[in-house]
Amino acid sequence: MDRPDVTRLVIVGGGTAGWITAAAFAKLLGKRLKIELVESEAIGTVGVGEATIPQILRLNAILGLDENAFLSATSGTFKLGIEFVDWGAKGSRYLHTFGETGMSLGRVPFHHYWRRAAMIGQAGSLWDYSLHQMAADQARFGKMDRVGNTAMTGLAYAYHFDASRYALFLRSHAEANGVTRTEGIVESVARDGESGDITAITLKGGKTVAGDFFIDCTGFRSLLLGEALGVGYQDWSKWLPCDRALAVPSERLPTLVPYTRATAKDAGWQWRIPLQHRTGNGHVYSSGFKSDEAAADTLMAGLDTRPLGDPRPIRFTTGRREAFWAHNCAAIGLSSGFLEPLESTSIHLIQSHVSRLVQLFPRHGDPASLRAEYNARCAAEVAQIRDFLILHYHQTAREDTEFWRYCKHMDVPDSLTHKLALFAASGRVGRDVNDLFRDASWVQVMLGQGVMPADYDAMADQLAPAQLTEFLANVKTITARAVATLPTHADYLARHCPVD
Ligand code: FAD
């Protein structure tokens, strides 16, 4: 069958997913497509999603956003990683930082040298050699590509920002690039009787918006892909059992630290996100193990600053749609699935799905092969992130509550079992080159959660014992010196990206 040209793109939903999608499509395919975004202020957005990972810098570069203007507009701060408190064991703490720890020599990652030294009692914690950890502990931040004039990589960072201000910022950017915004509640979805493709949506009041391709950014509702096209949902709650959250803002932290904190609780965990004008907080928990009332008490008792409102409830089921693209409709954002906010991966998934969709976007109709490629790549990406998240819950010594006993003893995917065994035996990380989380991330979370490798890479023996000692001492000294040159995070923000 002849398929018409795809020239009219309709995006339904104007949360973070809708506006990132609109801004990116306008930038990359705006000359070919007429882009219309439909959203409803009456329905609103999920209103959370304030922590990111370094890949967001790529999105900003593609969109041509100025970093300082972006952070001022969103009351943003810098993020060097996530501090995990009480996860591997009660009383434990580690930082999953962005970027390498120490310095690789040749093909051998630093942690193998560190492990060799630790096995003979000559090294303490891996994080003693971490540039990010030292900067985070001292609440410092600055731009640094390299450490001094060494080959050691500098500070990798991401951002925290106010979710509602972020969507507005992207909206103004997308509208300036030609995206049309239509206010209204979608009431029905029309499909072609023969192909089953979506042809138009009808809004409350009767207005119809027709299109050739539709992107469903309607959040957990998944109005188009889930409801209209009937694409099912793979439920992953047996591995990621948290299904509710309560979110509440509180006053700004007295010291503006450059990291997110994730504190494990009796049936879930609590986030703390430092922003310039306030702090974002939330408690993610499993309703099978904790009541909403008890969760609210936990959240409020765990705040470091005075609350600025009442807790707002959010419900979700971890998992993903069976397909990310069906017929002439792709779902991006929460409408395509939701894993868990623990490693701040959702906004990244929006960005990577948008970029993949742009690369595979059909000019005529939507050939099945493009859809199949898109769905396979999205599924592989999400499965790898799922395993990384499960690791945090499963690899724990905690058995103090029913929730933690469940997590510790649950069956996990074979892919994760293999990774755990490989790291425990050899310090090696088994992953695909396309995986989002690199070796440095797996190493930090495995070690942070108590997996100590029994061995190290044989190539680390190439250094004589005295050279090994000198190498580790040099890394520590050079790193400490570099951190001492950085301004405080608060000073950096006040100087470069203050909030009006
Ligand atoms: P939404 O924000 O829900 O937007 C849906 C849009 O669809 C809205 O504009 C709404 O008006 C519109 N809509 C719905 N129905 C209709 C209709 N009938 N007619 C017209 N319009 C309609 N991600 C991170 O990267 N980092 C984090 O730290 C993080 N923390 C999170 C914490 C929690 C507890 C949760 C639940 C999520 C978190 N996320 C995080 C995920 C992040 O919030 C989302 O990925 C992001 O906000 C995108 O949401 P969305 O745009 O898909 O959906």
Ligand 1 in reach of 109 Cβ (< 6 A):
no
Report CA(218)–ligand 1 centroid distance (Å).
7
Helix/strand/coil (H, E, C) string of the chain? CCCCECCEEEEECCCHHHHHHHHHHHHHHCCCCEEEEEECCCCCCCCCCCECCCCHHHHHHHHCCCHHHHHHHHCCEEECEEEEECCCCCCCEEEEECCCCCCCECCECHHHHHHHHHHCCCCCCHHHHCHHHHHHHCCECCCCCECCCCCCECCCCEEECCHHHHHHHHHHHHHHCCCEEEECCEEEEEECCCCCCEEEEEECCCCEEECCEEEECCHHHCHHHHHHCCCCEEECCCCCCCCEEEEEEECCCCCCCCCEEEEEECCEEEEEEECCCCEEEEEEECCCCCCHHHHHHHHHHCCCCCECCCCEEEECCCEEECCCEECCEEECHHHHEECCCCCCCHHHHHHHHHHHHHHCCCCECCCHHHHHHHHHHHHHHHHHHHHHHHHHHHCCCCCCCHHHHHHHHCCCCHHHHHHHHHHHHHCCCCCCCCCCCCHHHHHHHHHHCCCCCCCCCHHHHHCCHHHHHHHHHHHHHHHHHHHHCCCEHHHHHHHHCCCC
Per-residue pLDDT reduced to its tens digit, 289-332: 999 999 999 999 999 999 999 999 999 999 999 999 999 999 99
Q: Is 334 annotated as a binding residue?
A: yes
Model pTM above 0.90: yes
Categorize the per-residue pLDDT at 275 as very low, low, confident or very high, splitting at 50, 70 and 90.
very high
Q: What per-residue confidence (pLDDT) applies to 435?
A: 84
pLDDT computed for residue 431 by the predictor:
77
Residue 1 has pLDDT above 80, yes or no: no
Q: Is 185 annotated as a binding residue?
A: no
Residue entry with tokens 């909403």? 292
CA of 18 to the centre of ligand 1 (A): 9
Q: What are 191-245's pLDDT values in tens digits?
A: 999 999 999 999 999 999 999 999 999 999 999 999 999 999 999 999 999 999 9
Res. 2 pLDDT band, cuts 50 70 90: low
Distance from C-alpha of 378 to C-alpha of 349, rounded to nearest angstrom: 9
pLDDT tens digits along 111-159: 999 999 999 999 889 999 999 999 999 999 999 988 888 888 899 999 9
Ligand 1 close to Cβ of residue 40 (< 6 A): yes
Which atom of ligand 1 is found nearest the CA of 184? Answer: 20
Question: Which ligand 1 atom lies nearest to the CA of residue 17?
Answer: 51
Known catalytic residues are: 79
What single letter denotes the amino acid at residue 285? Y
Q: How many angstroms is it from 47 CA to the middle of ligand 1?
A: 7
Residue of 214, 321, 346 to mutate, ligand 1, most atoms within 8 A of C-beta:
346
**Cα 22 to middle of ligand 1, angstroms:** 15
Residue whose C-alpha is closest to residue 56's, from 156, 175, 184: 156
**Over residues 24-36, mean pLDDT:** 97
- Tens digit of pLDDT for each residue in 326-385? 999 999 999 999 998 999 999 999 999 999 999 999 998 778 999 999 999 999 999 999
CB of 17 sitting under 6 A from ligand 1: yes
Block residue for tokens 């973070």: 16
Rounded-to-integer distance, Cα 346 and Cα 388, Å: 14
Q: Say whether pLDDT at 407 is over 80.
A: yes
**CA 234, CA 402: separation in Å to the nearest integer?**
25
**Which of 218, 332, 342, 349 has the most ligand 1 atoms within 8 A of CB, as the residue to mutate?**
218
Residue 205's φ and ψ, nearest 5 degrees, are 100, -15
Separation CA 496–CA 227 (nearest Å): 45
The pLDDT value recorded for residue 434 is 79
∠ CA 105-108-110 to the nearest 5 degrees?
Answer: 70
pLDDT tens-digit series, residues 421-477:
999 999 999 877 778 899 999 999 999 999 999 999 999 999 999 999 999 999 999
Beta carbons within 8 Å of 450's beta carbon, 6+ residues apart: 88, 89, 92, 395, 396, 397
Given ligand 1 and candidates 46, 242, 316, 344, which is best to mutate, with the most ligand atoms within 8 Å of its CB?
46
As a whole number of angstroms, the distance between CA 74 and CA 169 comes to 7
Region 381-399 average pLDDT: 97
Q: What is d(CA 266, CA 246) in angstroms, rounded to the nearest whole number? A: 15
Measure the CA–CA gap between 495 and 484, rounded to whole angstroms: 18
State how far the alpha carbon of 311 is from the alpha carbons of 163, 247, 251, 293, 307, in Å. 16, 5, 14, 11, 9
| Cβ–Cβ under 8 Å, residues 68 and 60 | no
Regarding the beta carbon of 331 and ligand 1, being less than 6 Å apart is answered no
Buried b (16+ CB within 10 A) or exposed e, 32-58: ebebbbbbbeeeebbebbbbbbbbbbe
Give the chain's domains with CATH numbers: 8-50+162-236+318-366 (3.50.50.60), 244-315 (no CATH)
**pLDDT confidence of residue 3:** 65
Query: Is 79 annotated for ligand binding?
Result: yes
Residues near 49 by Cβ (< 8 Å), separated by ≥ 6?
16, 163, 166, 341, 346, 347
